[in-house]
Every structure is written in C-alpha cells, then in structure tokens.
Amino acid sequence: MPQTQSSTLALARALIARESVTPDDAGCLELIAERLTPLGFTLERIDRNATSNLWACRGHGGPIVCFAGHTDVVPTGPLERWQSPPFEPSERDGYLYGRGAADMKSSLAAFVTAIEAFVAAHPDHPGRIALLLTSDEEGDATDGTIAVVDTLAARGERLNYCIVGEPTSVDTLGDMVKNGRRGSLSGTLTVKGLQGHIAYPHLAKNPIHLAAPALAELAATVWDQGNEYFPPTSWQMSNIHAGTGANNVIPGSLEVMFNFRFSSACTEDGLKARVHEVLDRHKLDYAIDWRLSGQPYLTPRGTLVDAIGDAIDATCGLRPEISTTGGTSDGRFIARICDEVVEFGPVNATIHKIDERIALDAIEPLAAIYRRTLDNLLLN
C-alpha cells in the first residue's frame, strides 16, 4: 500500500476514533495541528464559547488556497443498530465504517496528506495554503466558521479560493461538485383570530379559515425561474398548529412555520416583501418572526471550478456535474471573504445514518484530487 494511502487512512481512523459530537472537538484539532506544525504552518486558535476553531496558514504572497471543514459529527443514534461501534473505525466489505467517515473526517485526513505531499514536493511553493476548521458545523453554526470569518474580515484578510470538504459525490467519488448553495430564510407566521364556540361561528374569527386562501396563494406562487446554476426558489410549510385539542372550540390563533430555499435570482428583502403583500391583501391580523440562516452563494465556472474538475478528471477519469442542490453549508459564511468557493468530498449516501461509511478505494483518490487541485491553482 502506498505511503500516502496508508497515511490518509490512518489519520481518518484516528479522527473517527475521537468522539467529537457537536460542539466537542475531542482533540481532533490538536491531532491535525501536530501534522501541520512540522510543515511550517502558523496556527491560530479562534475558539468561541464551547466551539473549537483553527486557522492555519503557510506561505507568503500570491493567491491563498483554503481547505475548510468540520471536526464535529452528529449523534450516533441507537448504538445497538450499528454493526460495529461508531467511534471504533472498522474496515469490512471494502468500506471504512464509523461516525464521520463520510461527513467529513476522511476529507480532513485527505486535506492533511494532500498538503503534506504538496509541501514535500514544493517546499518553496508560490502563494499560501490555509486550513479553516471548526467543531460547530453540525449544530447551530453560530460560533464556528463564522467566528473565524469574522476575525479574518476584521483584519481585512481575504481568500482567493476555498474548497469545503463536504460529501458532495452521489454515486461515485468525483461525480458532483457543489459550486454554490441556496439561501435559507425561515419564518414563523402567527395569524390572530377570536376563540369561540364552534356552534356560534358568527361570534368568533377562525384564523384557519382566514389564513387558508393566503397560504394556498403562497404555496402556488412562482417566486422566480432560477438560473443557469440554481433551481427555482421554493417556499414550503413545515408545521401548522392551531386549536386546543377540543373539537368544539374555534382557535384564537394559528401558527405556521415555513421556509424559503432561495436562489441568487431573489433577495431576502424581496421575498419578505412579497409574503407581506399577500398577507396584507388578504387582510389578515398577523405577525412574522423571520430568521435568515444563510444567503445564497455562487462560484460560476472559472478558475476554481475548472481546477478541481481537471483534478477529478485526472484522478477518476470523469467530469463532475456542477450543482447547487442540497442544504446549506459553511460555504455560505466563507463566501463573504472568499472570491471562489466550492464543496467537494466523498459519496454522501450514508451521512448522518447508522453504519456511516466511505469506500476504502476512494480515500487515496480523494487526497490525490485535493493535491492536484493545489497543483492546478498554485503551480499552473
């Protein structure tokens, strides 16, 4: 087995063995720091509250290429349903099993060994290499990557290229790269009525009946047509609650939770204004509590998309699909200070599931893709 392969696999196993459920880093950052220090990286801990964050950088001048990711993992679920303990990495049937194997400790290991190989071959490389790592991606994401981005922004520092190691592949390593993500805007709508006896509706105001036409209109609204990179914006209701539980009481209020996944063809303010226009036109007595989880971000085809696409082609013999589908990621924060951001990592079929795993024969190619991307960005 080649040294780089055994090194990547060994590091992935060591990371999986650390029980780093959000926001506990469980020593993952210290393990990675031990590998970066001999390479000449400057290491800076930017911890906030219970979250562990690391900013590491090597080199001088030129473009800066950043690898970004998270050491934290989601809870395991019922331990008895795992074929092997989730924090005891296990190899069988051609896979490495363990919580975080795909999301995203194998990517972290591949980051490190790719950088080690690149620096060994080019100790005086042009440009800079950086890592931005956090233990707060799977949770509220309030004290992790955003804390590092805030710190860098306050210093006036910007990144040129960033690769987030999220598991983006669908059926085989390299078949999909994310070049952006939709924004996420949530709202809790409260429609006020007047509680009363259901046999005397003229003495009450049923907020369910009052709101139903407006909700139907919102559900049928075409918010935009999307664009070359994004599907059309989606508005979905996730929860509806009203009533006391009794079947003879008209409720006094209705609560509706909803979410926009919106493209770069829309804006936060524009979506809010259109919702208010519909509700106002239906003459509802209402209030909305809005929450923005992230703005959409997009990296059009260009230097970074081409660099990682060429690296995947050279390693796996295929051209990746470029996509913006899926949920949000920490890329939404990094895009504030970075010119080009993409996400790329292993197959995501088992992430957050029982018996999470990654194909053993994908681990070394993953490191090779990251290494070739560095070549393409800093040497060509």
Calpha distance 74→14 (Å, rounded): 17
SS3 (DSSP) at 367:
helix
Active site residue 217: no
Is 112 in contact with 11 (CB distance < 8 Å)? yes
Among the listed residues 72, 116, 143, 375, the single catalytic one is 72
**How would you classify residue 373: left for phi > 0, otherwise alpha for psi between -120 and 50, otherwise beta?**
alpha
Kindly provide the b/e burial profile for residues 152-168, where b requires at least 16 CB atoms within 10 angstroms of the residue's own CB: beeeeeebbbbbbbbbb
What DSSP assignment string belongs to 96-141? EESTTIIIIIHHHHHHHHHHHHHHHH-TT-SEEEEEEEES-SSS--
Q: DSSP states of 190-252 as a string?
A: EEE-B-EETT-GGGSB-HHHHHHHHHHHHHH-------SS-PPPEEEEEEEEES-S-TTEE-S
Q: Where is the binding site, in residues?
A: 70, 103, 138, 166, 352
Residue 108 in contact with residue 71, Cβ under 8 Å? yes
137 is catalytic: yes
Which residue in 137, 330, 364, 375 is the catalytic one? 137
Q: How many Cα neighbours within 13 Å face the side chain of 364?
A: 9
Reference 377, options 69, 65, 25; nearest CA is 65
Strand partners, 234: 261
Q: Alpha-carbon torsion 259, 263, 266, 269, what sign?
A: positive
- 3-class DSSP state for residue 275? helix
Binding residue numbers for Zn(2+): 70, 103, 138, 166, 352
Catalytic residues: 72, 137
